[in-house]
Structure 1
């Protein structure tokens, strides 16, 4: 496990696509650039034993009130081997070192497998209504030419 490096961009985007984490309204490359501008030390990747292939990722951030985890992913070829668990634990460790008292994340309600994973790590489910507002659009408008 190590900090994300710029040479990892293509591999991380491919990992997120394989894991189903990308959405048309979020440009993953822009998300990477945004993270590198704010607490880049919270962007971690796991590599295979040779160090040549990215097999996992997580983004962690602390806003002064609570920590957040995003983009936790493990390559299909390495699932069930503790990669995601190790990434979460290291992200938690780094957040705690920053003084973070609590960490949260968002999981789509229908994703029971991922919810069970976090249950096993001691995360508590709670009901809240999430709201959001996009301040910057990542979707490129199509030319009408």
Structure 2
């Protein structure tokens, strides 16, 4: 079983490269800003799992005091289908549980059926809610 720990400065570039390789980055989301923001407070972090001194898996995890959220769940493409994604999700759930958070939410792009199936196998289900968003700029 892989051990996950909080990201350290020297791993930021490797984490962004992994997220890019996994197709998780989007032009409108700056992954460096996301990592920095997640590391600023006690309610969020980026967890990294190492294999042979390199980043094998990641998950950004946080909570608002009521519900947890998962983002950027990624596994090195060369290491996929070995259970590391499951380990990343479970590490994030453990991180949340240690903080008293009892429910976790995540967002999956509607067209990403493969990833949706992955989470369904882990017991996640679609909730009958509407997710609304607005960018705050200023």
Distance in 1, Cα, partners of 2:50 & 2:137: 32
Q: Which residue of 2 aligns with 1:90?
A: 91
TM-score (norm: length of structure 2): 0.91
Q: Mark the structure with the bigger radius of gyration.
A: 1
CA 1:136–1:31: 2 relative to 1, 3 Å: farther
Distance in 2, Cα, partners of 1:17 & 1:35: 18
Matched residue pairs, number? 135
Q: Which residue of 1 aligns with 2:113?
A: 112
Q: Which residue of 1 aligns with 2:78?
A: 77
State whether structure 2 residue 21 is matched by structure 1 residue 10.
no
Distance in 2, Cα, partners of 1:39 & 1:134: 24
Distance in 1, Cα, partners of 2:94 & 2:123: 15
Q: Which residue of 2 aligns with 1:100?
A: 101
Q: Which runs of 5+ in 1 are unaligned?
A: 138-145
Which of the pair is proportionally richer in strand?
A: 2
TM-score (norm: length of structure 1): 0.87
Distance in 2, Cα, partners of 1:41 & 1:25: 21
Q: Which runs of 5+ in 2 are unaligned?
A: none
Q: Is the 8 A contact 1:57 1:87 kept in 2?
A: yes
